[in-house]
């Protein structure tokens, strides 16, 4: 039993659990036995997302000698040990797209236009790709797309709704990339950061047929009060911005497979906690909803389990959302969840835990997430101060004051968030 009340020891123990849970989702482990279609012509590799360099490195030695391609990842996410001479690496902005990503997207579209029936477009996809590869639909400028992206990020919309909007405002997402590459064969290998593992939602599905519609996009925008440029709204209304559907001929040579999922991470977390004698209570690997409410709910559940005298690990994955009220606030969904949880626990002894994004970055800060232990509210300056920080969307600052941030740097994968509460 992990009985220590020393915060440093507690944090070291929790960080080890986090690292153990991530192991099966790291590309070097998740991709070692994968195969893809063999073709007589050229192979063009596109690796895009927060794990782009690690995914490319995992299969690089198995690519044809003459393979070409492009790697696009978030700024600061390039794996320092991987520098292929023949495949350029571009770093672009996330979560709001920038000109570097737009330039990369146009380079990719030009490259796939040259592929023939005997060629292969091999796409390695991980979370973050939607922002890293912006190709605005005709009549939409990059600045307009940036504005829509910011509005989506602040709206509290779930990732599934955000990606439906992204698909219909893009010349590359929602199956458009595979349509441009046709008649070449297209195969995507993806790490899932989507609750429910809908592979057509990962990276907003650039190589897969899309079942959502322009009408869905308009409904989502109106639901969340997101202002669309008039020209775009008109094209959504008349169907001009519709995406390729499953019966589209150009989608018939496109296949896809998952190599790592949130369930893999949660299962590894459960195995690690079980090894330390914890009863496992798995709350699901695809939780969505308001991060603050989920945090409060999990705290109440933890208190109930403690009252029953049980030693339990509460484990969950998925992607909660935060309704941003302070655009200048500092904090992501994991730190917001955990601060709401800590406030609801009110310093209850014998309960500790963490919440962290598997990619190593919670929101736009430098932390993967944060730690929780019984005295953390006092370390923050008291519950009143902690509550004020939560109301100001400054959960990062609260945990920073308590020396409770979980900082790892980019992990090399992205299978959504992991939350663990340990009740002793």
When pLDDT is cut at 50, 70 and 90, the band that residue 32 belongs to is very high
For 405, list phi and psi in degrees, rounded to 5: -80, 140
* pLDDT greater than 50 at residue 396: yes
* pLDDT greater than 80 at residue 202: yes
pLDDT at 6: 81
Give the Å distances, CA to CA, from 370 to 153, 197, 339, 405: 21, 25, 9, 4
* pLDDT greater than 50 at residue 269: yes
- Contact by Cβ (8 Å): 372, 420: no
C-beta atoms surrounding 383 within 10 Å? 14
When pLDDT is cut at 50, 70 and 90, the band that residue 5 belongs to is low
> What number is the average pLDDT over the span 369-374?
98
pLDDT at 102: 96
pLDDT at 81: 84
pLDDT at 318: 94
CA 420, chain centre distance (Å): 18
For 210, list phi and psi in degrees, rounded to 5: -115, 130
Give per-residue burial for 335-348: e unless 16+ CB within 10 Å, then b: bbbbbbbbbbbeee
pLDDT at 323: 87
User: Distance (Å, rounded) from C-alpha 242 to C-alpha 31?
Assistant: 33
User: Distance (Å, rounded) from C-alpha 135 to C-alpha 169?
Assistant: 8
Residue 41 half-sphere exposure, CB side, CA atoms within 13 Å?
Answer: 14
pLDDT at 56: 97
Give the Å distances, CA to CA, from 331 to 195, 227, 353, 355, 356: 21, 25, 18, 12, 12
* pLDDT greater than 90 at residue 364: no
Q: Is 43 helix (H, G, I), strand (E, B) or coil?
A: strand
pLDDT at 159: 87
Sign for the CA dihedral angle at 160, 163, 167, 173 comes to negative
- Contact by Cβ (8 Å): 337, 320: yes
Reported as a single tens digit per residue, the pLDDT across 88-126 is 999 999 989 999 999 999 999 999 999 999 999 999 999
User: Distance (Å, rounded) from C-alpha 350 to C-alpha 424?
Assistant: 5
What does pTM read for this prediction? 0.90
CATH code for residues 33-260: 3.40.50.10180
The one-character DSSP state at 289 is S
CATH T-level topology, domain 7-23+263-423: glycerate kinase, domain 1 (3.40.1480)
User: Distance (Å, rounded) from C-alpha 114 to C-alpha 182?
Assistant: 10
% of the chain surpassing 70 pLDDT:
99
CA gyration radius for the chain? 22
Q: Is 409 helix (H, G, I), strand (E, B) or coil?
A: coil
Query: 3-state DSSP helix/strand/coil percent for the chain, to nearest 5?
Result: 40, 15, 40
Reported as a single tens digit per residue, the pLDDT across 309-363 is 999 999 999 999 998 889 899 999 999 999 999 999 999 999 999 999 999 999 8
Rounded to 5°, angle at Cα 127 from 122 and 132: 80
Residue extents of the structural domains in the chain: 7-23+263-423, 33-260
**Which of 200, 224, 188 has its CA nearest to residue 37?**
188
Q: State the pairing for strand pair 43-48/68-74.
A: parallel
User: Distance (Å, rounded) from C-alpha 43 to C-alpha 33?
Assistant: 19
Reported as a single tens digit per residue, the pLDDT across 144-165 is 999 999 999 888 898 899 999 9
Highest mean pLDDT range out of 1-5, 34-38, 127-131?
Answer: 34-38
Give the Å distances, CA to CA, from 45 to 208, 251, 284, 358: 17, 18, 34, 25
* pLDDT greater than 80 at residue 3: no
When pLDDT is cut at 50, 70 and 90, the band that residue 4 belongs to is very low
């Amino acid at each position: 039993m992990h009985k220590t009340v020393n915060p440093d020891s507690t944090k070291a123990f929790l960080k080890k659990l986090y690292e153990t849970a991530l192991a099966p989702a790291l590309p070097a482990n998740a991709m070692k036995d994968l195969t893809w279609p063999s073709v007589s012509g050229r192979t063009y590799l596109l690796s895009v997302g927060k794990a782009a360099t690690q995914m490319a490195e995992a299969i690089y030695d198995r690519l044809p000698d003459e393979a070409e391609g492009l790697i696009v990842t978030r700024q600061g996410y390039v794996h320092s040990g991987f520098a292929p001479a023949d495949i350029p690496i571009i770093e672009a902005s996330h979560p709001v797209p920038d000109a570097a990503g737009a330039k990369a997207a146009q380079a990719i579209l030009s490259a796939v236009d040259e592929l023939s029936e005997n060629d292969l477009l091999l796409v390695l996809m991980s979370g973050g790709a939607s922002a890293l590869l912006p190709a605005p639909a005709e009549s939409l400028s990059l600045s307009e797309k940036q504005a829509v992206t910011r509005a989506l990020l602040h709206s509290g919309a779930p990732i599934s709704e955000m990606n439906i909007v992204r698909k219909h405002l893009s010349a590359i997402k929602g199956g458009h990339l595979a349509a441009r590459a046709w008649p070449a064969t297209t195969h995507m290998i993806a790490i899932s950061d989507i609750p429910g593992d809908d592979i057509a939602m990962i990276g907003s599905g650039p190589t897969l047929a899309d079942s959502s519609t322009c009408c869905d996009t308009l409904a989502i925008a109106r639901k969340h009060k997101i202002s669309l440029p008039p020209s775009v709204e008109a094209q959504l209304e008349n169907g001009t911005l519709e995406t390729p559907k499953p019966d589209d001929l150009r989608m018939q040579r496109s296949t896809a497979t998952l190599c790592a999922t949130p369930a893999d991470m949660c299962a590894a977390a459960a195995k690690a906690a079980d090894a330390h004698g914890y009863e496992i209570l798995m709350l699901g690997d695809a939780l969505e909803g308001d991060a603050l409410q989920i945090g409060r709910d999990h705290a109440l559940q933890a208190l109930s389990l403690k009252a029953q005298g049980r030693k339990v690990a509460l484990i969950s994955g998925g992607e909660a959302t935060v309704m941003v009220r302070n655009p200048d606030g500092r904090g992501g969904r994991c730190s917001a969840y955990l601060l709401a949880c800590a406030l609801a626990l009110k310093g209850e002894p014998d309960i500790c835990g963490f919440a962290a994004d598997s990619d190593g970055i919670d929101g736009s800060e430098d932390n993967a997430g944060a730690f929780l232990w019984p005295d953390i509210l006092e370390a923050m300056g008291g519950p009143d101060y902690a509550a004020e920080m939560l109301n100001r969307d400054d959960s990062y600052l609260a945990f920073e004051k308590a020396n409770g941030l979980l900082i790892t740097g980019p992990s090399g994968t992205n299978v959504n968030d992991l939350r663990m509460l340990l009740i002793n």
